[in-house]
Amino acid sequence: MFRLYGWPYKKYIGGSVVLNILGAVFNIFSFSLIIPILQILFKVGEESYAFIPWDAEGIGIKDKLIGNLYYYVSLGIDSWGAGKVLLLLCLFLVGMTFIKTLCNYAASAVMVPIRTGITRDLRVKIYDKILGQPIGYFSQERKGDIIARMSGDVTEVEVSICSSIDMLLKNPILLIFYVGTLFLISWQLTLFVLVFAPVMLWLMSRIASKLKQRSKEAQSLWSDILSQVDETLGGLRVIKAFLADSKMADRFRKVTASYRRKLSHVARRQALAHPVSEFLGTTMIAIVMWVGGVFILGEHSVIDAPTFIFFMVMLYNIIQPIKDLSKAAYGIPKGLASMERIDKILDAPNTILEPAKPRSLDSFNSEIRFDGVGFKYTEDGRQILSDVSLSIPKGRTVAIVGASGAGKSTLVALIPRFYDVTEGSVTIDGVDVREVSSKSLRGLMGNVNQEPILFNDTIFNNIAFGVPDATMEDVVAAAKIANAHDFIMEKENGYDEPVGDRGSRLSGGQRQRISIARAILKNPPILILDEATASLDTESERLVQEALDRLMSNRTTIAIAHRLSTIKNADEIIVMDEGRIVERGRHNELIALGGYYKKLNDMQSL
């Protein structure tokens, strides 16, 4: 994961490594001042020290450093007195500690752009993937689950993994420097300490072993919660109308109770990290104190008391990096579980692939043609369309009718390539739509759907949605043609009036006229109408139909209709049943034929 998303921020990583090294070095030097301070406090005048030449042979670097430090301290005591030297050492300790803490803060601060940047990049990548997926993908995925992965799972990655990056960079550096210092002080005691490290790591891994799976299950239940909330908000009228409040509440309580149980299990296991590392660290300190005391009190002492205290201080400093690493060991499995769920979206195959060398299709000049088209949503699924052949010449209005499930919407969705045919081909001006870029293809088309889709923005921005450089004059002209200008001007803010969530502040007819104005402004040569007046009352239908008649003028129009009265004047009516074309012709011709279309017409006349 870090190799994919962290690489753009490598300069911050380098800065953090350098600052952490400086922090570790200053920390060691600041604590090393404990030795001369203790010497002054407890051993003043007891020993005399001589300067050891740095090129002296047979003497280790550690002995040279300590011996010469004691020499200069004793020299200072002789010249200025123990009190002044002690004050200088204490001030130097404070200064070194200030620089150390400054380096530690800077090291953490430079990691912030990495953490926030990775989570931003993840969200953007998921959103781009969602925009790039074909329509069929969303018929197989729950909207609440997608939202949960984009919100909860990405947040979990930020909290669990990205927050652990700082620990994973900082703490190994601290451990290397601290352990190296311990070896310089006393390799015997350090080897004894290192015996306990594998035991501690083994216990941590045992506790964290099932954390990833439990976290994955918890995040899956969180998706169920969001899906139920989404269903409830979308179906609130039905829930209240059928007195199903208690039923929905019980469903919600059950899934939230399951989520609570899983989350509690994960939290309890994660909470073990601190007390276990605390207990093991204290145990190690106690044992080392006992062993070190034996070394000091023994006849052949390998370490003096002030140096042993410095050893203990450095050893205690090692405990915190180990604790932080243990937290990371618990947090990362949780984040990886969420990352697996995110990868399910990011790795989802896109069945609508852009052509490697797209052909040009800048205008529509001749016809849309279906040749032997067959379609299934999945390879082993039901045949939705079978052997459909159809030509739609430029400038003609073609209506497609049939019972629900006949394949009307699927057939029309093949033109803008929302789906790809599984048999045959769809061509525009003789060019297969699969050989044209989606942007070029869909730029030729405008859509008006049964359920008008508006965004939580102003009326102006909804009309100008597909035309970024549209002016107010352009938008007003489109609104007038769509019979929308009058009701817009009655609003308090006119064209700057917010439409609300999904256009909730507008009536159904007003929403539809806004969507028609949007299509008029785009001015596409091909117009697709999908039950554009099916859900409107009589007055709204009249106003919308007038707007549609203006929109359809001099365009190639493909209209899906249940209400046959709205398509009587179509140049050709295509009648579909069970994925096949069963009849075609003009309204009067089909009535005279006395077949399936006449049966549909008679049923609506009753």
Q: Among all chains, which residue has been given the structure tokens 């203990």? A: 312
Mean of pLDDT values over 529-538:
68
Give 163's pLDDT tier (boundaries 50, 70, 90).
low
Residue 115 lies in a domain: no
Q: What is the mean pLDDT of residues 250-261?
A: 81
| 371 occurs within a structural domain | yes
CA neighbor of 146 nearest in space, from 164, 123, 163, 173: 123
Per-residue confidence (pLDDT) for residue 389, from 0 to 100: 92
Contact present, 526 and 444 (Cβ < 8 Å): yes
CA–CA dist 352, 103 (Å, integer): 51
Element (H, E) at 389: strand 383-393
Q: In the listed set 110, 142, 176, which residue is the last one of a domain according to the structure? A: 110
Query: Of all residues in the chain, what percent carry a pLDDT higher than 90?
Result: 6
Nearest-10 crossing angle of helices 245-271, 273-297: 10
What is the number of structural domains in the chain? 2
Share of the chain above pLDDT 70, in %: 75
Q: Residue 245 pLDDT > 60, yes or no?
A: yes
Task: List alpha helices for 133-210, DSSP H.
Answer: 135-138, 143-148, 154-157, 163-185, 187-194, 196-208
Q: Work out the pLDDT band at 207, boundaries 50, 70, 90.
A: low
Q: What is the DSSP letter of 503?
A: G
Among candidate residues 69, 88, 110, the one where a domain is terminated: 110
Say if 256 falls within a structural domain: no
CA distance 6 to 16: 13
Which residues touch 143 (CB under 8 Å, ≥6 apart)?
227, 230
* Beta-bridge partners for 369: 391, 427
pLDDT of residue 302: 59
Per-residue pLDDT tens over the stretch 466-517: 787 888 998 998 888 888 888 889 888 899 998 887 788 888 888 888 888 8
CA 568 to chain centre: 49
Task: Give dist(CA 541, CA 532) in Å, integer.
Answer: 9
Check residue 44 and give its pLDDT.
44
Across 598-603, average pLDDT: 84
More confident residue, 427 or 536: 427
Average pLDDT, the chain: 77
Q: Which contiguous run of DSSP H or E holds residue 446? A: strand 445-449
More confident residue, 445 or 283: 445
Structural domain harbouring 543: 367-605
Q: Which residue has the tokens 């069963």?
A: 582
Enter the DSSP assignment of 529: E
pLDDT value for 297: 59
Judged against a pLDDT cut of 80, whether residue 68 lies above it is answered with no
**Confidence (pLDDT) at 45:** 44
Higher pLDDT among residues 43 and 255, named by residue: 255
- Taking the CA atoms of residue 296, residue 298, residue 302 and residue 307 in that order, the dihedral angle to the nearest 10 degrees is 10
Query: Is there a domain that residue 35 lies in?
Result: yes
Residue with tokens 């090294």: 21
Element (H, E) at 387: strand 383-393
Tokens of 195: 């015996």
What pLDDT is attached to residue 424?
A: 92
Report if residue 130 sits inside a domain.
no
36 vs 307: CA distance, rounded Å: 9
Integer CA distances (angstroms), 369 to 171, 393, 415, 417, 588, in order: 66, 8, 9, 13, 24
For residue 245, is it within any domain?
no
Does 332 fall in a domain?
A: no
Q: How confident is the model at residue 371 (pLDDT cuts 50, 70, 90)?
A: very high
What digits encode the pLDDT tens for the residues 306-336? Answer: 677 777 777 777 777 776 776 666 667 767 7
Q: Report whether pLDDT(426) > 90.
A: yes
Residue 109 pLDDT more than 90?
A: no
Last residue within a domain, chosen from 80, 110, 140: 110
How many helices (H) and strands (E) the chain has is answered by 26, 10
Instruction: Yes or no: say if 540 and 571 are a contact pair by the CB < 8 Å rule.
Output: no
Distance CA 159, CA 328 (A): 10
CB atoms within 10 A of CB 183: 15
pTM: 0.65
Query: Over 80: is that where the pLDDT of 580 sits?
Result: yes
Q: What is the pLDDT of residue 374?
A: 92
Average pLDDT over residues 548-573: 80
**Residue 374 in domain:** yes
Task: Please report the DSSP string for 235-264 in residue order.
Answer: THHHHHHTT-HHHHHHHHHHHHHHHHHHHH
Single out the residue of 573, 556, 579, 455 nearest to residue 515, CA to CA. Answer: 455
The region of weakest confidence among 45-59, 89-103, 401-415, 503-517 is 45-59
Name the helix (H) or strand (E) containing 176.
helix 163-185
**How many whole angstroms separate alpha carbon 548 and alpha carbon 530?**
12
DSSP for 293-342? HHHHHSSS-SS-HHHHHHHHHHHHHHHHHHHHHHHHHHHHHHHHHHHHHH
The CATH number of whichever domain residue 601 belongs to comes to 3.40.50.300
Q: 490 or 343, which is more confident? A: 490
